Structure 1
Amino acid sequence: MKTLQGPSIFLSQYIRDQPPFNALESMASWAAGLGYKAVQLPTHLPHIFDLNKAAESQEYCAQVSETLRNRGVQISELSTHLQGQLVAVHPAYDKAFSRFAPSSLRLDAHARQQWAISVLKKAAKASQNLGLKAHATFSGSLAWPFFYPWPPHNAVLFEEAFSELASRWRPILDSFEESGVDLCFELHPGEDLHDGATFGRFLELVHHHPRCNILYDPSHMLLQHMDYLGFIDHWHSRIRAFHVKDAEFNASAQSGVYGGYQDWPQRPGRFRSPGDGQINFKGIFSKLAQYDYPGWATLEWECCLKDGETGAREGAKFISEHIIRVSKHQFDDFAAQKQEREAARELLGLDSRSSKKKAGTSHSRRNESKG
């Protein structure tokens, strides 16, 4: 069994104009001071991390890695959540998501899509240059406006949507295969890949591509009323990234899973800092240890009540205390006995001579068959 790595922290929610959150060096020192061992880096802000340079220059990647190492952290994964979103955008969301692209492309949906695909391919190469094993992203969505179908379910519509989604992502997945990096989709409402059923459907259409994997975030599953522990049992072989984010669902007479268009504090389902919600993290960390999860435990702070810096400080301690340092020995090894066949037959009350006779007969039959 493996001891998973952590804690790491996703920096995206903390970046702003004020120090220490306006430069990678100072953010790294801040994170290390809280007890984090790694940072998950967003790639849409060149003044924090220049993805173009990272894809082209191993020297730049070496400089970034050294800068972080000198401050006590490393990179757990790169993130292209915003750019991945633009790989597939339904026209209903065209204007809402256009700001994720460079200003020169915002009025051209096709150009935005091609730009996003090129960015993901650069992220594969940059991850390789940095020696990373996994990458975090979103799938984008074509079918999401129809997630609760009315008019009634249109099977052909979903067949077309997922077929198109797979065709757009297949060359990206191939780029990640060439780079030796796992592409991990965060299963998230608003994305076409938002649960096990949609991920499984997509996985079949990309022919079970070895680099098609999952960023496991239990908060999105709790809010969908999913069995997030059973999900690990089913999909553990594809889980290659992990966001530690809590959530709670408090039943209301006024609204439910969909939130009633209310702000986060008023919704029945809402995100919380780790330990403040309803998620069974002891169970999650136990299952990830059981299944030899190879990656990092990364705090993603999204809480509708608690201050982010408080959440970051508490989150490092929370993750560290939940990581299971797996044992190299079984607890009952002290009472183990030699695993010898004759001793085993003796324990069973069987005649050891009959065991030898059977072995001799089998040996004779093999010799006869050779003759």
Structure 2
Amino acid sequence: MKTIKGPGLFLAQFASNEAPFNTLPGIARWAAEMGFVAVQIPTWDRRLFDLQLAAESQTYCDDVKGMLADAGVEISELSTHSQGQMVAVHPAYDPLYDSGVPREVRGNPAARQAWAENQLMMAAKASRRLDLNAHVTFSGSLAWPYIYPYPQRPAGLIETAFDELARRWRPILDAFDEAGVDLCYEIHPGEDLFDGATFEMFLERVDNHPRCNILYDPSHLLLQQLDYLEYIDIYHQRIKMFHVKDAEFNPTGRQGVYSGYQPWIDRAARFRSVGDGQVDFMGIFSKLAAYDFDGWAVLEWECCLKHWEDGAREGAAFIADHIIRVTDRAFDDFVATDVDQAANRRLLGLDR
């Protein structure tokens, strides 16, 4: 068994235009002071990271690693959530997503998709230069507007969407395979890969690609009312990354899973700071340790109540307290006996 690495921190929710959160050295030092030993870097945030330069320059990557080491942390993984989302966008979401891409590709879905695909290709190269073995992204969504089966969907609609999704991602998966890096999709509502069934539909269409893997985030599964512990039993061989994020689901007579278009503070289903919600993290850490999870436990902070700095500080301690230092021997070794084949046969009555 392997001991999970951590605690790590996903920087996306903490970056801002104010020091020390507007530069990678500054936010890295702050993360170390909070108790984190690694950072997960959002590659779309140019205040923190230059993805194109990282893909092209080993010197830049070495400098980033050295600077982080000086600050007391290392890189757990890179993230392309924002770019991966743009690989597949249903037209209904064009105006919403155009704000997150360069001006020259706005209003041009084909150009936006090509830009996103190139971003992922660069992320594969950058991950290799940084000696990372996993990367997180979103799948994007073509079928999400049709998630509810009414009005009745035309025959083949979902199959066509997943065929196209797989066609777009297959070259990217191949690029990550060439780089020796697992591409982990965060299973997330709003993406076409939002639960186990949809991941399986996609995995089948990319021919069980060895680099097609999962970032496990129990908060999204709890809010869908999935059995997030059994999910580990089913998909542990594909789980290569882990976001430690909490959530709670408190249905009422007025709202349930869909939460009635309410703001986060008023939703029945909402995210909480780690330890304040309903996720059984002891069960999760135990299962991941038992299944030899060889990755990082990375805090993703999202909470509609608690201050972000308190959430970070408490989250680092929470993860450190939950990481199980796996044993290197069985607890009953003290009564173990030497192998004696003749004795074993006698015990089984085989020599009578």
Report the TM range for the smaller structure's normalisation: over 0.9
Counterpart residue number, 1:347: 347
Counterpart residue number, 1:178: 178
Q: How far apart are the structure 2 equivalents of 1:47 and 1:100?
A: 15
Q: Read off the aligned partner of 1:186 and give its amino acid letter.
A: E
Counterpart residue number, 2:264: 264
SS of the residue 1:164 aligns to: helix
The 5 A counterparts of 1:1-371 are 1-351=1-351
Q: How far apart are the structure 2 equivalents of 1:154 and 1:258?
A: 24
Q: How many angstroms does 1:107 deviate by?
A: 1.2
Q: How many angstroms does 1:154 deviate by?
A: 3.2
Deviations 1:10-30 (A, max 9, x none): 000001011111110011101
- Please say which of residues 42-51 and 232-241 is displaced more in the overlay: 42-51
Deviations 1:76-98 (A, max 9, x none): 00000000000000000001011
Q: How many angstroms does 1:349 deviate by?
A: 4.2
Counterpart residue number, 1:362: none
Instruction: Give the unaligned 5+ runs of structure 1.
Output: 355-371
Q: TM-score, normalised by structure 1?
A: 0.94
Q: How many angstroms does 1:346 deviate by?
A: 2.5
Instruction: Give the unaligned 5+ runs of structure 2.
Output: none
Q: How far apart are the structure 2 equivalents of 1:71 and 1:18?
A: 18
Q: Read off the aligned partner of 1:100 and give its amino acid letter.
A: G
Deviations 1:140-192 (A, max 9, x none): 00000000022114340001000000000000000000000000000000000
Q: How far apart are the structure 1 equivalents of 2:223 and 2:313?
A: 25
SS of the residue 1:297 aligns to: strand
* Conservation of the 8 A alpha-carbon contact between 2:272 and 2:302: yes
Question: Would you say how many aligned residue pairs link Structure 1 and Structure 2?
Answer: 352
Counterpart residue number, 1:361: none
Q: How far apart are the structure 2 equivalents of 1:248 and 1:50?
A: 36
Q: Read off the aligned partner of 2:262 and give its amino acid letter.
A: Q
SS of the residue 1:131 aligns to: coil
Q: How many angstroms does 1:124 deviate by?
A: 0.3
Q: How far apart are the structure 1 equivalents of 2:201 and 2:124?
A: 24
Higher helix share: 1
Task: Output the aligned Cα RMSD.
Answer: 0.9
Q: TM-score, normalised by structure 2?
A: 0.99
Q: How far apart are the structure 2 equivalents of 1:204 and 1:350?
A: 48
Q: Which runs of 4+ in 1 moved over 6 A?
A: none
Q: Percent identity?
A: 61
Q: How many angstroms does 1:350 deviate by?
A: 4.1
Counterpart residue number, 1:365: none
Q: How far apart are the structure 1 equivalents of 2:153 and 2:327?
A: 50
Q: How far apart are the structure 2 equivalents of 1:144 and 1:104?
A: 26
Q: How far apart are the structure 2 equivalents of 1:43 and 1:15?
A: 12
* Conservation of the 8 A alpha-carbon contact between 2:251 and 2:257: no
